[in-house]
Chain A
Amino acid sequence: MLAPEQILHAAMILSVESEDGIDEGLISQVQETLECDSEDHEAAMSHIENHRDDGDWGGRRDAVLHRSRERIREAMDNNSLPSAGPLADELNGLVGEETDDGEVDPFAELGVVSGGGGDSFGGNAVASNDPLAQFMDGGDEEEEDLVDGDGFLASDSSLSFDGDVVEDVVEDVVEDVVEDVVEEQEAEATPVVEEVEEPPQEEQPATAPNAAYEMLMSTCWIDGILDPAEAKLLARKREELGITFEQHLEMLQSMLERSS
């Protein structure tokens, strides 16, 4: 489920990149519908200005636009935005600007496919440039997610995160990680079922969120600094994953001990 500010962000990107430039009237309607405040609007606009790069988006224009369209479609599908009426028509116009031959999936073009198999850390250039890539194994669209999410990242590999960006990216990452960890545990458990006593079923979901949360926590300090957006994201994830603050502190402590 996308956060309202993510949807607003996507709409603003598409509007900015449309032929006529940003339509503030449309954006105001979207903002109002999503109940986003002016701070969200300013943050999104600031981010766009910082990363738009005259429309090139650091060489990821197509990926950024593609992801933005997907987000608007998803928002309309889940009724975060109206799927009928004048606003829906305008949004469809915005989303519909995608042409059949205009969209280029840079990963497909490069022949990059998801890691799958056993190479957890991927072997492609895109993944190896990004510290977050280690969390991107196994899924169908992780690399695309990385770039699409990163469509909002700086184009260089130094990962100059701003608050909204990192929240955007790591939120996608943690969801993938949760799924991956559960899948891996299930996959590992399957072959030994006949030889080893089957572990209690309830243990798996109890472990997975913790592992995912710990990985998310490590990504939040990947640039060396904890910022408000990261702390906010972790607080929200604790709540979502049912992780107590004591568990958080314990995980943090063990993470720091391992890294020292």
Chain B
Amino acid sequence: MKAENTPFWHALELAWCSDGALSLHSIRLLDAMQNMIGLSNSDRAEIESRFEEDVVYDLTRAGFGCGDQALAAWVGTLTFLDDPASYDVSKAMGKAAMQSGLSIERWIASHSWMSQLGLGRPYAEGVWLEGEEAGEIARVPALLVPVAKTIGLIDQDE
């Protein structure tokens, strides 16, 4: 799993990058997210260390951590993981990624992302046409929008 290609890294970006500060509310939201996706303490520590080195050290504080609002919205989308359709949607997204032409880099990044959400297997099945054929993806769930951008299913600007 590549730290920078994970939902938790994305959450840290939301929490930190709007004004270069991390609020207490954001810390609680990150804790909640960790529990929801079953992220181990060691994995979280590894991601946060990398994030500090790569991102935080270069930030300039300009506020009091107002990124918590965006983070709260993002954490809210994790309810998708309880959706019975999450498996099929992930598989369909894998198929769509493959059909649009999947580079090695995009595969690594997207699979890493989906794996942290526990959706790596169906996503891989979709990409590699394993088992029953995946359906078409009608709409990308909010939780998967960042990875959909990574694999080119959604324009980066959208």
Contacts and interface: CB of A to CB of B under 8 A. Distances in A.
B128 A224 contact: no
A231 B129 contact: yes
A227 interface: yes
A228 B130 CA distance: 12
Contacts of B130: 235, 238, 245, 248
Interface residues of B, number: 15
Nearest to A217: B128
B78 interface: no
A88 interface: no
Contacts of A225: 101-103
Contacts of B127: 226, 231
Interface string B112-133: 0000000000001101111100
A248 B131 CA distance: 13
Contacts of A226: 98, 101-103, 107, 127
Interface string A201-226: 00000000000000000000100111
Contacts, number: 40
Contacts of B128: 231, 234-235, 245, 248
Contacts of B101: 225-227
Interface in A236-260: 238, 245, 248-249, 256, 259
Q: Secondary structure at chain A's binding surface: helix, strand, loop or mixed? A: helix
Contacts of B98: 226-228, 231
A225 B127 CA distance: 12
Contacts of B99: 227-228
Nearest to A232: B129
Given A221-B104, A226-B102, A248-B130, 12 more contacts: A224-B103, A224-B104, A225-B102, A231-B98, A232-B129, A234-B128, A234-B129, A235-B130, A245-B124, A245-B128, A245-B130, A245-B131
Interface of B: 98-99, 101-104, 107-108, 124-125, 127-131
